[in-house]
Amino acid sequence: MGNIKVGDKVRFLNTTGGGVVRGFQGKDQVLVEDEDGFEVPALIRECVVVGEGPQVHSSNKPKSNAAEMEKQITSTRQQPDEPEEEIEETPEGERLNIYLAYLPTDPKAIQQCGYEAYFVNDSNYYLFFNYMSRENNSWISRYNGTIEPNTKIFLEEFEKKDLNALERICVQLIAFKKDKLYSLKNAISVELRLDTVKFYKLHCFMENDFFDEDAIICPIVRNDLPEREMLVSASELQEAMQQKARNDNQPKHPKQSIIKKKEANSSILEVDLHIAELLDDVRGLSNSDMLNYQLDKFREVMDQYASQKGQKIVFIHGKGDGVLRKAIEKELNTRYKQHYYQDASFREYGFGATMVTIK
């Protein structure tokens, strides 16, 4: 029965929910009491312990005689091994589609609650995978294991204070099938940067195909193509340079308005300077091009509201490597030094925003 004991609090791997273990049914199932008081049978291999049950003092443990215990053990041994369930495959599942998903533990208290992380395997393949985060110049594994085809599993629960440790994440995986022929998939290593500011905003958790609840969905692999591989081949680099040359003279497509009210009844304005919020198409732009475009938008807003004394403007720049933040602070200390600025609310934006008050 593994390490699961009566009284343990467990979470289901392949569906949302869980509860407290109240007993065992056969050799591979547990009876889990959910929050409504109903006992639900579940496979032991599809449960993960998230909290141990109360320790029972030896004098309070239920007594059972040796004959009854031997009878239970013999009964368990004589049960034949159940055949592994046939994996239901789909034509579209022959391509890897892999995602990370993040859900708030309490959507009604988004400013105070923590989060749950899930790994989603939307394919016909089993996956060996390792989920990591970066600490300084090294990596630490947060979860590693195997996931079955067309399933999702719970990775971890974490608090707001842990968000900064998740800005740089990496997933490595190997795809395979059991006891059947399959198409070979390359081993994949994808490194991503999470926009942790989004975790403070309820509207960033969106309807999706994998959960009943709204979630932030981060693609790792889509239709066999990794979102961003750490190693780039020479041919890929050459193609990217040629694409840049073709697109350098093409007009970009700016978004219509980047200035929004923080709330309907608030006088504070929000300006999201993430490049994806400013441009629909960034092909052909270098990092320097994008930074200059972001600074131009910053200056445009500052000049637009230069005469409106007391106006508060929150510029959302993200934490990232701090390049845009430092560039904005340099502008505020030189070109706009008459105005006052400070870090915006940590509870709402983490370390990813600066609030300017026009003087």
Q: What is the pLDDT of residues 281-333, one digit of tens each?
A: 777 778 888 888 899 999 999 999 999 999 999 998 887 667 888 899 999 99
169 and 225 together in one domain: yes
The Cα angle at residue 288 between residues 283 and 290, in degrees rounded to 5: 50
Mean pLDDT of 217-235: 73
Is the Cβ–Cβ distance between 101 and 118 less than 8 Å? yes
Say yes or no to pLDDT of 232 above 50: no
110 and 149 together in one domain: yes
217 and 256 together in one domain: no
Is the Cβ–Cβ distance between 186 and 76 less than 8 Å? no
Spatial distance between the Cα atoms of 308 and 95, rounded to a whole number of angstroms: 54
SS (H, E, C) 149-202: CCEEEEEEEECHHHHHHHCEEEEEEEEECCCCCCCCCCCEEEEEECCHHHHHCH
103 and 219 together in one domain: yes
220 and 100 together in one domain: yes
36: left (phi over 0), alpha (psi -120 to 50) or beta: alpha
The pLDDT confidence band at residue 104, using thresholds 50, 70 and 90, is: very high
Mean pLDDT of 193-199: 87
| Higher pLDDT among residues 239 and 45, named by residue | 45
Q: What's the pLDDT at 11?
A: 84
3-state secondary structure of 271: strand
Domain with 353 in it: 251-357
Provide CB contacts within 8 A for 79, sequence distance 6+.
26, 27
Spatial distance between the Cα atoms of 342 and 90, rounded to a whole number of angstroms: 53
130 and 23 together in one domain: no
The pLDDT confidence band at residue 230, using thresholds 50, 70 and 90, is: very low
3-state secondary structure of 296: helix
| First-residue to last-residue Cα distance in the chain | 68
Instruction: For residue 210, report the phi and psi dihedrals to the nearest 5 degrees.
Output: -110, -20
> Looking at 12-26, 66-80, 182-196, 274-288, which range is the least confident one?
66-80
pTM equals 0.48
Mean pLDDT of 94-98: 95
Instruction: For residue 111, report the phi and psi dihedrals to the nearest 5 degrees.
Output: -80, -20
Residue 82 lies in a domain: no
Residue 3 lies in a domain: no
Mean pLDDT value across the chain? 81
Mean pLDDT of 196-205: 88
Q: What's the pLDDT at 55?
A: 42
CATH of residue 211: 2.60.40.1600
Spell 184-223 as b/e; 16+ CB within 10 A means b: ebeebbbbbebbbbbbbeeeebeebeebeebbbbbbbbee
281 and 204 together in one domain: no
- How many structural domains are present in the chain? 3
Q: What's the pLDDT at 289?
A: 83
Say yes or no to pLDDT of 264 above 80: no
Is the Cβ–Cβ distance between 273 and 317 less than 8 Å? yes
3-state secondary structure of 113: coil
Say yes or no to pLDDT of 238 above 70: no
Q: What's the pLDDT at 231?
A: 39
The pLDDT confidence band at residue 195, using thresholds 50, 70 and 90, is: confident
CA neighbours within 13 Å on the CB side: how many for 192?
19
> Looking at 10-24, 143-157, 197-211, 229-243, which range is the least confident one?
229-243
pLDDT in tens, 5-57: 888 888 888 777 888 888 887 778 888 888 877 888 888 888 888 765 444 33
Say yes or no to pLDDT of 119 above 70: yes
Domain boundary among 201, 231, 261: 231
Provide CB contacts within 8 A for 146, sequence distance 6+.
126, 127, 128, 129
